[in-house]
Structure 1
């Protein structure tokens, strides 16, 4: 369906088109409610009681450890980095993000606008690893940029989700080193004062059910007032009409099944292929907002995913598989890569006796074959000494994600030949 030709749509179809267009706004506001802090370290709780929807924005929150099989809040989590999170509210002026010298470590702060466009970055790939002060401002700001500002980011709206990732290596004490770096991240106003402010999220971020039409209208209307339509996009929201109550559950169900990743060959597919902007692909934008929200652009990271082997059969823990990268034909990355295992039933890590949830170019003891090939054994049982083993769940379906951090041109142009998982 062409979402731009409202004149030919029924009332229901017009409402459906409006929901598909605006759903990223609602999902982003839902995530803001779910991931912002209730409490400020100095100023206390944002709201008066536990039921309050008040939250703190313009404030970092961090995870200081890598996630494991007991963590169930996030599906398909990574096992390479720890996270830093913040929501920016630029309605009262710019925010200055201060970050320390990161040495030679991989790190990134990805900025997503309220429409889920991953439009800007601070970090190793884009701005380097030196100490930095980044000024982030909303539309219409025309102030003077201080001389000590390293980077300036102009945002298309007043609301921005900042998702940070910092690499943690498998060596003693590295988690503590990363923690010491994270606590130096800060947000201030241009005058040096704390940038934190309270906002009323109006949502219970823990609820992922289809929203009622009045709540959806309220959230979208408020978000639109602060975050204009992307340039060149025709507004469809006024045409939602009285069919919104029927359109909402229909669209949510449609998007739950509308998984249309880009095929890469060898049983691999790319669930998200955005660079900096979704353009006019509103359906994919909505699908990702509902199912994979928070995805960064592929220049920063690509996540090829395999649910089947080279013959198209579902990957299952009752089988053993081999993933073989020929000599000199491993992943082409500017930072690092990893292969991560997930149960298909809940999209979480697989507990195993060696506590290995991913394997990659930084894994201690990784060994090459005599001819220079890199072979990874993917199976439930220990294959024995001398194998690069990624444990799979016994007697259960699974999938793997090949995470590519700073993928190189061969991947970005979709010319890389991904080896298939071969059933042994």
Structure 2
């Protein structure tokens, strides 16, 4: 799920209503890691300022809860199909990976997650995301992050909630989650439509089983479904924008019973409690017009936020601080609003850019992206570039070409360079199919370059994506 600034219509592939809350006290559970001091404090005494801070603080939890509300049962897998331009459920989907998702409730007992062994050259990524949209664990085919004595493949993990204590089976890796209500977001590499049956086979072999059932040998008790293409229901970012201030903040208070804030959040929570915002609290005694104004101002802040840490290289924007946000609440909320569950940069490096499809006179523009010899993106897995319309959806075209770089394979020049053509009109046969990326006929478009399992030279900026230039 991906990070472009236009991607404000991001929606869950799946989702369900959050489970009943369990009582907790402030400041609640911590993830065990040392967090920095709050990026911004809320020492202002007025209710408007504190309600704005509370809105931003709670945005990821509210959004994830809404995504749950549109999905199937907890503790089960939903598997997606390869998207097309009419999949309106999620913006900025990759066309090189097929997604699986599971909404978890770890309050009663742990869950066993088993990832099957796939072909060595098929990249996969499993993110475990807490209730506040932080990536707590990231497991990949390149680095499954198992313990020393664990077996695999298949790779087997026990996901434990914040309060659980007990004995685990041997040769299984424990993954502690600071939130009882957590999420698995999985991606599996796919080589076009013809490869879908094989990917579906791997998806069906994923296991998600209560620990008690696992210990009884009930290894076939995973519940899973194939999630069809979503043709247009309203994304949660639009639904959340319709909530009035009182409804939003009371919902946050209720959700914090099940997933209390971290210890590092205590300074902010102490101030918010003065207007009733705390686990189990209510804000019914606050003026509704003040709370509604807080919603409007907070939404503007989220919409206008730009990433101050992103690298700008040859017209591309590369976010480098993703996945875990500490007490940088504005970054956490704005990033989640644009695209929940972004992968850490060590797993996927994203680079984004915008461009027009026509000049001022309406003439179509043609672009070139040239990777010089030995300058193809340095990755352990693969790379791709995907085109999107202004809403962040795939670009319709008769040949169903939505990305380049991965499948079909690019054709290199005799010197080893790779030249990609980005334009609306079909340039074939002068340009190989694998080197052409269609864009819309009119309006603006955007590109996302993805490096899966990027190498160190890409992570530290030694390698840079080339510019996109106009073809005369």
User: What TM-score bracket applies, with the shorter chain setting the length?
Assistant: 0.7 to 0.9
Partner of 1:186: 207
- How far apart are residue 4 of structure 1 and its match? 4.3
Partner of 1:100: 116
Partner of 2:366: 320
Partners of 1:5 and 1:107 in 2: CA distance: 39
CA separation of 1:317 and 1:356: change in aligned 2, threshold 3 A: farther
Partner of 1:66: 82
Deviations 1:174-201 (A, max 9, x none): 21011111112222112226587xxxxx
Q: Secondary structure at the match of 2:380?
A: strand
Mapped pair 1:235 → 2:286: no
- How far apart are residue 317 of structure 1 and its match? 8.3
Mapped pair 1:82 → 2:113: no
Alignment of 1:120-131 (within 5 A): 120-127=137-144, 130-131=153-154
Partner of 2:443: 396
Is the Cα–Cα contact under 8 Å of residues 100 and 131 in structure 1 kept in the other structure?
yes
Partners of 2:53 and 2:90 in 1: CA distance: 29
Deviations 1:355-407 (A, max 9, x none): 110001x3335211222111100011122324221111112211110011111
User: Does 1 or 2 have the higher relative contact order (CA < 8 Å, sep 6+)?
Assistant: 2
Partner of 2:315: 267
Partners of 2:107 and 2:222 in 1: CA distance: 12
Alignment of 1:374-413 (within 5 A): 374-387=418-431, 388-413=435-460
Partner of 2:298: 251
Is the Cα–Cα contact under 8 Å of residues 135 and 153 in structure 1 kept in the other structure?
yes
Partners of 1:231 and 1:277 in 2: CA distance: 15
Partner of 2:69: 33
Partners of 1:231 and 1:307 in 2: CA distance: 40
Is the Cα–Cα contact under 8 Å of residues 367 and 421 in structure 2 kept in the other structure?
yes
CA separation of 1:297 and 1:385: change in aligned 2, threshold 3 A: same
Mapped pair 1:225 → 2:246: no
Partner of 1:5: 41
- How far apart are residue 278 of structure 1 and its match? 0.7
- How far apart are residue 5 of structure 1 and its match? 3.4
Deviations 1:192-224 (A, max 9, x none): 26587xxxxxxx968343312333233212322
Is the Cα–Cα contact under 8 Å of residues 318 and 396 in structure 1 kept in the other structure?
no
- How far apart are residue 318 of structure 1 and its match? 1.7
- How far apart are residue 148 of structure 1 and its match? 4.3
Q: What is the root-mean-square deviation in Å for CA atoms of aligned residues?
A: 2.5
TM-score (norm 1): 0.84
Is the Cα–Cα contact under 8 Å of residues 317 and 397 in structure 1 kept in the other structure?
no
Is the Cα–Cα contact under 8 Å of residues 245 and 294 in structure 2 kept in the other structure?
no
Is the Cα–Cα contact under 8 Å of residues 378 and 392 in structure 1 kept in the other structure?
yes
Partners of 2:125 and 2:65 in 1: CA distance: 22
CA separation of 1:189 and 1:317: change in aligned 2, threshold 3 A: farther
Gaps of 5+ in 2: 1-37, 146-151, 224-234, 277-285
The structure where strand makes up a greater share of residues is 1
Q: Secondary structure at the match of 2:114?
A: strand
Number of aligned residue pairs: 387
Is the Cα–Cα contact under 8 Å of residues 311 and 320 in structure 2 kept in the other structure?
no
Partners of 1:355 and 1:171 in 2: CA distance: 10
Gaps of 5+ in 1: 38-55, 197-203
Is the Cα–Cα contact under 8 Å of residues 317 and 393 in structure 1 kept in the other structure?
no
Is the Cα–Cα contact under 8 Å of residues 346 and 459 in structure 2 kept in the other structure?
yes
